[in-house]
Amino acid sequence: MILIRSTLFNILFFGITAIFCIVFIPTLFFSRNVILWVTKLWLRMVYFLEKYVAGIDFEVRGKEHIPSDPSYIVAAKHQSAYETLKLYYLFGDPTIVLKKELLNIPVFGVFLNKLDVIPINRKNKEESIKSIIEGAERMKGQKRPIIIFPQGTRVSVQTSVQQRPYKGGIVKMYQNSDMPVVPLALNSGMFWARNSYIKKPGKVIFEFLPAIEQGLPEKKVMKALEDRLEAKTHELMIEAKRNYPYLEEPPKRDLLTVE
């Protein structure tokens, strides 16, 4: 049954995405607000497919930790494509720090560029840091939240911090932007694994954690972020396994953490 639902979801997802990219090409000549409207319409349709075809829904916890000021940074775990499809549900009009290669995808990349994201060149560290700092300042002026994935890419639920360490871009943002950094834990990879054809039904949990304290030195910022995100993410994965026994077994906590 899961295979059938996953197959149907994948066919409909890619079909609808292709149709949107073709039908709405003329909107690329309009303002960013029009592109934002098209993006949210597409995401609403994708959410319908996720919920009623694949059987995946989500819950948000810790909303009290989201700053009242619209300019803040969210440092999120990244286990799946699922969370990238929920960013406009969670934040309204965020910007995303992403690899610049995504802007080269025909049509889709143009839509991304019109949304005013923060692209980085992962092959050039200095250029990436510069883009992150300048992008943070630009978004602060626009009063938009910034989403960054500190590990730089999607990681499987079995991947440890030693295997995929946190990168320094988030620290540079913390040091140069004067914006609060809010960790966001999740367990999406338990249901929609990295690069997986199969989508397993259940409820994904997003949980915001208290913001990282201001004025911490670089190493303590990274340590605080790693400790909090990894601990809470592991808790959420254990909860998912408990609620949905057919999911894979999460790794032991000590295999994920940093010494």
Q: How much is the average pLDDT of 199-223? A: 92
**Residue 6: inside a domain:** no
How far apart, in Å, are the Cα atoms of 148 and each of 27, 110, 204, 225?
27, 20, 19, 12
**Residue 66: inside a domain:** yes
**Residue 122: inside a domain:** yes
Domain of residue 220: give its range: 57-255
How far the first Cα of the chain sits from its last, in Å, is: 42
Residue 203, φ and ψ in degrees, nearest 5: -110, 115
**Residue 236: inside a domain:** yes
CB neighbours of residue 244 within 10 Å: 14
Q: Report percent pLDDT > 90 for the chain.
A: 61
**Residue 158: inside a domain:** yes
Q: How much is the average pLDDT of 14-20? A: 94
**Residue 209: inside a domain:** yes
The CATH number of residue 68's host domain is 3.40.1130.10
Confidence category of residue 106, pLDDT binned at 50, 70, 90: confident
The pLDDT value given to residue 254: 60
The pLDDT value given to residue 133: 86
Is 228 a residue whose pLDDT tops 80? yes
pTM: 0.90
Residue 34's closest CA among 47, 24, 45? 24
**Residue 12: inside a domain:** no
Confidence category of residue 44, pLDDT binned at 50, 70, 90: very high
The pLDDT value given to residue 86: 96
**Residue 3: inside a domain:** no
Is 68 a residue whose pLDDT tops 70? yes
Token pair belonging to 172: 């540079």
Is 123 a residue whose pLDDT tops 80? no
List pLDDT tens digits, range 138-176: 888 899 999 999 998 899 999 888 889 998 888 888 888
Task: Say how far apart CA 257 and CA 78 lie, in whole Å.
Answer: 16
Confidence category of residue 253, pLDDT binned at 50, 70, 90: low
Is 259 a residue whose pLDDT tops 50? no
Task: Could you list the beta-strand ranges (E) of 48-191.
Answer: 56-61, 73-76, 95-99, 118-120, 146-148, 181-186
Domain count, the chain: 1
Calculate the average pLDDT of the chain. Answer: 91
Is 125 a residue whose pLDDT tops 80? no
